[in-house]
Amino acid sequence: MGLAMGGDGINAFVWAFCGTVVAGLLLLAYMRFESAWFRLAYASLPPTGGLSASAMEGERIPGVRGAPDAIRLRVGGARTPKGRKAGHIRVLHISDVHVGQLGVGMGRINGAIRRADPDMIAFTGDYIEKAEECGRFIRFMGMVGFGGPIFLCMGNHDHKAFHGQARRRRSASAASAASAASAAPARPGAPAIPAGLGAILDGACEAACGDGGCEGMRGFAEGIARAKPNAAVLTNGTETLHYDVRSGGWAEGPGEGVCAVSVTGFDDLRAGKMDAAKGLASRDMGADVRLAMAHNPDAVLGLPEKAFDYILSGHFHAGQIWTPFHLEYRMLRRERLSKMNVRKGLFGFPAGLLYISAGIGCVKVPLRFLARPEISVLDVPLPEADPARLNLRP
Ligand SMILES: [Fe+2]
């Protein structure tokens, strides 16, 4: 039995090894590149007035385990049209920023905002992964080049960040207490580790983190509002704005030719913070257009029929790193909609039309593969120019 490899065998092995390394490096470079190469996804949403999801045309997707069927709807062209559509408000939808692993620069984000020229911006959760990143996200918000209304709802990673911090502080306190008990006698004047309280790092976000992480979350929301006074974090609550159809801009209040647009933000479902009853009770039933924001798309399954006209969400990252047979969803996602192949784009549900963004940032690893980051431009139709409904003079 010969152990020595022939010259040809060694050459083949070296070539195969080098080829594999080069292919791996190219793949990694492409994945890194794709994290930064975001697309401006444009969707002209269909009107919902008088339409039930079952009456909409599109590819029907059967539900799973009690979930209602969904209808996959085709939306407008991939490019944002140059002009603005009359009788529509334009919503810029940004989801899953994950500021610690965001490959897209602020200049490109602000460039997209300038090009899209929206009426409002909706951020649908997952801004940070660690409490220490909250100052960074607050600075990010301060740099967002938009003076109109901005609404935010929280995602599972935002909650996890503060819960994680509370846990770390508790274990640090326990370790401190244990070591203090074993060290006899205790050194007088030794610094004590604060139990469950402390300033969140990074200077910009000073918040106390209580047992459930709620105090830290509240401080985070207040920090965002301080950095961006035109931004509001909605926690199972609603705000109503008024839009002047004729001038094509926000109005101070109701009046002739003015549409009421309500925005309801639900807290995160997976973190156990979504209070559907509270959010639904806060709705402005007199609004001409009712928008909702919920980080986790599964939130739509807990809402009653025709609860909202449009529901914006994210969470799935379009898989982030594509794998064959959708393994990234099968292995990493527990959501019912992901099992129904309802993962990105526009879908009709009994509760309303659901738009799922591919998100802009990355979770766990700063890479995307065949899942380009996306900033979505959604043209939302206002009620048809019904003079009586809009109180317009003929
Ligand atoms: Fe996310």
Residue 3 lies in a domain: no
Residue 142's pLDDT is what? 95
Give 161 Cα–ligand 1 centroid separation in angstroms: 12
Residue 103 lies in a domain: yes
Q: 359 near 314, Cβ under 8 Å?
A: yes
Distance 157 CA to ligand 1 centre (A): 7
Q: Which residues, at least 6 apart from 385, have a Cβ–Cβ distance to it below 8 Å? A: 87, 245, 392
Report CA(278)–ligand 1 centroid distance (Å): 24
> How far apart, in whole angstroms, are the C-alpha atoms of residue 43 and residue 79?
9
Calculate how far, in angstroms, residue 240's C-alpha sits from the geometric centre of ligand 1: 27
CA of 155 to the centre of ligand 1 (A): 7
Q: Is the separation of the CB atoms in 155 and 295 below 8 Å?
A: yes
How does DSSP assign 43-72, residue by residue? EEPPP-TT--GGGS-SEEE--STTPPPEEE
Separation of CA 129 and ligand 1 centre (Å): 9
Distance, CA of 19 to CA of 32 (rounded, Å): 20
363 Cα–ligand 1 center, Å: 6
Between the CA of 195 and the centroid of ligand 1 the distance, in Å, is: 30
Specify the pLDDT at position 152. 97
CB 148 within 8 A of CB 121: yes
Residue 314 and residue 357 in contact, taking contact as beta carbons nearer than 8 Å: yes
Return the structure tokens found at 72: 């996959």
Total domain count for the chain?
1
**159 assigned to some structural domain:** yes
Instruction: Specify the CATH number for the domain of residue 148.
Output: 3.60.21.10
Q: Is the pTM of this model over 0.75?
A: yes
Output the CA 316–ligand 1 centroid distance in Å.
7
**Is 394 within a domain?**
no
* CB-CB contact of 265 with 236 (8 Å): yes
- What is the residue range of 377's domain? 14-175+193-381
Q: How far is the CA of 360 from the centre of ligand 1 (A)?
A: 9
In a domain, 232, yes or no: yes
pLDDT of residue 105: 92
In contact, 160 and 126? CB cutoff 8 Å: no
Give how far Cα 160 sits from Cα of 156, 212, 364, 381, Å: 6, 10, 13, 36
388 domain-assigned: no
pLDDT in tens, the chain (394 residues): 445 567 788 888 888 898 999 988 888 887 888 888 888 888 888 888 655 666 677 888 999 888 999 999 877 666 777 778 888 999 999 999 999 999 899 999 999 999 999 999 999 999 999 988 989 999 999 999 999 999 999 999 999 998 766 555 555 555 544 444 443 333 333 333 233 323 333 333 444 344 445 568 888 998 999 999 999 999 999 999 999 988 889 999 998 889 999 999 999 999 999 999 999 999 999 999 999 999 999 999 999 999 999 999 999 998 888 888 888 888 888 899 999 999 999 999 999 999 999 999 999 888 898 889 999 999 999 986 444 444 444 3
Residue 7 lies in a domain: no
Q: How far is the CA of 358 from the centre of ligand 1 (A)?
A: 9
Spatial contact of 258 and 390, defined as CB atoms under 8 Å apart:
yes
Judge whether 186 lies within some domain.
no
The alpha carbon of 314 and the centre of ligand 1 are apart by a number of angstroms equal to 7
Four-point Cα dihedral 164, 166, 168, 171, nearest 10: -140
Query: How far is the C-alpha of 331 from the C-alpha of 96, rounded, in Å?
Result: 20
Cβ-based neighbour number of residue 313 at 10 Å: 28
Burial class (CB in 10 A: 0-12, 13-18, 19+), 56: middle
